[in-house]
Amino acid sequence: MDQKKKTLQELRRERARKRDKRVLLSLSVFLILLFMVYLVTNPPQFHLPKFSFSWPKWSLASSPQKEEQPEVEGKFSKGQQVLISPEAIDGDSSLSPYLNRLARVESLELIEEGDKQNIVYTLNFGRDDKVSGIAEGFLAEEATGFALGQEVELLDRVGSARVETITKTDGYETYSVTLEDGQTVDSLSFHQLAYVYDIPLEAAALPRENNRLIQEAMDLTSQYSFVVVRFPKGQYRIGSATPESEYLLLRSNVELRGQDTELIVEGSARWFGLATGVTGYDGVSHFLMNGLTFKASDLVNGNQLLIMTNHGYGWQIENNQFSMVHKMSSHIFDLGGLQDSVFNGNRFEGYAPELTQVTEIGDRDLHNFYAEAIQLDSSHNAVGWDGGMMRAIDPNYDWTTSQPVMSNNITISHNAFLPYYNPQGELVAYGATVGQHSSYVGMTSIFGNTFENTLATRYKDQTSDQWVLEPVHLQSNAPVDIRDNSYQ
């Protein structure tokens, strides 16, 4: 019996030992897992000793390692435009091809000659024509109207070009350029090239700031023969709540070129071209505008864009769009005595939305209904054209308009004068007219245009001679070519 009891106790102790081992093993596993979690969330920083080993190098002759040289700072920096002095060229006949030729600094280095150190330059004269080893003392900085590598345009053709070489002799600059197609054109003067300027409009900028940038861009024509102002893609606000004091002055020899650009007009945007003398050719000349879209910020009531000139010639207004910026009794283009100009391929949408629901003229001013999108006016201080706005800003107005000047040799072709519909397809404003009503005009060509839902034709009495209510209306003693227009 005692033996049986003893055996039973031994079995119980054995079970207790196994249980304790299992508990200890489980606790150990738990502690290990807990430690691993700690290591993952709080990794220790180990800093192992660094060892380096250099393989031996065998060579037939010892070659010292070239040490990295610090960047050299000289009198002239990389990219700077310089000219080799005539004295240096006189002393080295190999440099004679570079007499009076401008170069850009491509690189510079410090060289040692005995106990002296000198900086020498590698120059690029254009078209990858390079010369090395030119001492600093033989160079001088040289400014030119256009710089090497600068983008320009030729006045007699479309497309950009880049300045490749420049020669400057006795202050006179001669340029060679490469066109977009790779063709080269040599022996060009400063006055045969146009400056290309990318105007930095900001989408978030206030209209006043963008107005200022446009004015500054046009003012660049005081420094160059012609300026191409490239507008960036996007929407930008212009205009003013006080257009009587905040307006733009147009300049001669400038192109305003849009690139998917929308100018959103807030309030009124008024741009004026002032006369400079008494003849029609004394005013803003060679003013070009293409590819711009002007759109009202208020597409229900409209806003005002007024581009008005007193005299001038050589305007080219092409491929622009004007949406809801033609206010009642106003004009988009108000042309007083303009000469030799073209308005082609433009789109005019919406005139005088406040008259859309009006069914009869009543006692309203007839001009409210036919005010032209393009008005070919006569400039004279004794007649009732819109010169009052000019007089308010031009101290020379009474002198420059002392003699009557008709608009003459004007072409209006392949434009569209259309109503404006909102995104829901509802008519907001009818279309506008072109012509003149208060004076005669000179030679005029109006052809290939589309007139759709013109506001004035709603009120024309077919039994009377209300010629001013026609989509195209004017009087002239000069040759007039009005043909092939579509009236819908």
Does 349 share its domain with 387?
A: yes
Under the banding of pLDDT at 50, 70 and 90, the label for residue 7 is low
Does 162 share its domain with 268?
A: no
Rounding to the nearest 10 degrees, give the CA dihedral for residues 394, 395, 401, 403. -160
Report whether pLDDT(388) > 60: yes
Does 267 share its domain with 304?
A: yes
Under the banding of pLDDT at 50, 70 and 90, the label for residue 91 is confident
Is residue 12 one of the residues assigned to a domain? no
Q: What is the pLDDT of residue 35?
A: 67
Q: What is the pLDDT of residue 178?
A: 97
Q: How far apart are CA 131 and CA 456, in angstroms?
A: 72
Mind spelling out the 3-state secondary structure of 159-226? CEEEEEEEEEECCEEEEEEEECCCCEEEEEEHHHEEEEEECCCCCCCCHHHHHHHHHHHHHHHHCCCC
Report whether pLDDT(121) > 80: yes
Is residue 303 one of the residues assigned to a domain? yes
Q: Region 432-436: what's the mean pLDDT?
A: 97
Does 128 share its domain with 157?
A: no
- For the purposes of burial, counting CB atoms within 10 Å of the CB of 179, is it exposed (0-12), middle (13-18) or buried (19 or more)? middle
Report whether pLDDT(53) > 50: no
Nearest to 76 by CA among 146, 130, 118, 139: 139
Q: What is the pLDDT of residue 342?
A: 98
Is residue 39 one of the residues assigned to a domain? no
Q: What is the pLDDT of residue 22?
A: 72
Residue 155, phi-psi category: left (phi > 0), alpha (psi -120 to 50), beta (remainder): alpha
Is residue 47 one of the residues assigned to a domain? no
For 123-154, how does the pLDDT look when each residue is reduced to its tens digit (9 = 90+)? 999 998 999 999 999 999 999 999 999 999 99
State which residues form the domain around 156.
Answer: 151-191
Does 124 share its domain with 173?
A: no
Q: How far apart are CA 81 and CA 100, in angstroms?
A: 12
Q: What is the pLDDT of residue 115?
A: 79
For 199-228, how does the pLDDT look when each residue is reduced to its tens digit (9 = 90+)? 999 999 999 999 999 999 999 999 999 999
Which ranges of 42-179 would DSSP assign to H, the alpha helix? Answer: 86-91
Residue identified by tokens 């979690």 is: 37
SS3 label, residue 132? strand
Is residue 361 one of the residues assigned to a domain? yes
Is residue 73 one of the residues assigned to a domain? no
Q: How far apart are CA 192 and CA 174, in angstroms?
A: 10
Q: How far apart are CA 30 and CA 36, in angstroms?
A: 10
Phi, psi of 353 (to 5 degrees): -60, -20
For 226-236, how does the pLDDT look when each residue is reduced to its tens digit (9 = 90+)? 999 999 999 99
Q: How far apart are CA 246 and CA 269, in angstroms?
A: 9
Q: What is the pLDDT of residue 350?
A: 98
Which tokens belong to 420?
Answer: 């404006």
Residue of higher predicted confidence among 227 and 31: 227
Q: Region 32-60: what's the mean pLDDT?
A: 53
Strand partners for 270:
306
Under the banding of pLDDT at 50, 70 and 90, the label for residue 96 is very high
- For the purposes of burial, counting CB atoms within 10 Å of the CB of 26, is it exposed (0-12), middle (13-18) or buried (19 or more)? exposed
Which tokens belong to 86?
Answer: 């005539």
Q: How far apart are CA 275 and CA 95, in angstroms?
A: 52
Under the banding of pLDDT at 50, 70 and 90, the label for residue 67 is low
Strand partners for 131:
123
18 membership: H or E segment, kind and range: helix 2-41
Report whether pLDDT(68) > 90: no
Taking the model in full, what pTM does it have?
0.83
SS3 label, residue 468? helix
CATH number, residue 414:
2.160.20.10
SS3 label, residue 390? helix
Under the banding of pLDDT at 50, 70 and 90, the label for residue 21 is confident
Q: What is the pLDDT of residue 112?
A: 84
C-alpha to C-alpha distances, 171 to 144, 168, 189, nearest whole angstrom: 9, 6, 12
What single-letter amino acid sits at 67? E
For 323-332, how does the pLDDT look when each residue is reduced to its tens digit (9 = 90+)? 999 999 999 9
Does 165 share its domain with 295?
A: no
Does 187 share its domain with 204?
A: no
The answer for residues whose C-beta is within 8 angstroms of residue 231's C-beta and 6 or more apart is 199, 201, 256, 257, 258, 259, 261, 263, 291, 292
Is residue 226 one of the residues assigned to a domain? yes
DSSP state at residue 326: E
Q: Considering its fold, how many domains does the chain have in total?
A: 3
Q: What is the pLDDT of residue 5?
A: 58
Is residue 313 one of the residues assigned to a domain? yes
Q: Residue 212 in contact with residue 240, Cβ under 8 Å? A: no
Does 170 share its domain with 315?
A: no
Strand partners for 318:
290, 344
Under the banding of pLDDT at 50, 70 and 90, the label for residue 251 is very high
CATH number, residue 90:
2.40.10
What single-letter amino acid sits at 127? R
Range 127-132, long-range pairs (CB < 8 A, 24+ positions): 127/164, 127/165, 130/106, 131/95, 131/98, 131/103
- For the purposes of burial, counting CB atoms within 10 Å of the CB of 264, is it exposed (0-12), middle (13-18) or buried (19 or more)? buried
Q: How far apart are CA 419 and CA 359, in angstroms?
A: 16
Residue of higher predicted confidence among 157 and 377: 377
Does 109 share its domain with 224?
A: no
Q: How far apart are CA 309 and CA 79, in angstroms?
A: 43
For 266-275, how does the pLDDT look when each residue is reduced to its tens digit (9 = 90+)? 999 999 999 9
Which ranges of 64-113 would DSSP assign to H, the alpha helix? Answer: 86-91
DSSP state at residue 281: T
Does 160 share its domain with 207?
A: no
Does 177 share its domain with 226?
A: no
Total residue length of the chain:
488
Q: Region 400-407: what's the mean pLDDT?
A: 95
Q: How far apart are CA 414 and CA 450, in angstroms?
A: 7
Does 232 share its domain with 122?
A: no
Q: What is the pLDDT of residue 417?
A: 98
If you compute the radius of gyration of the chain from its CA atoms, what whole number of angstroms results?
39
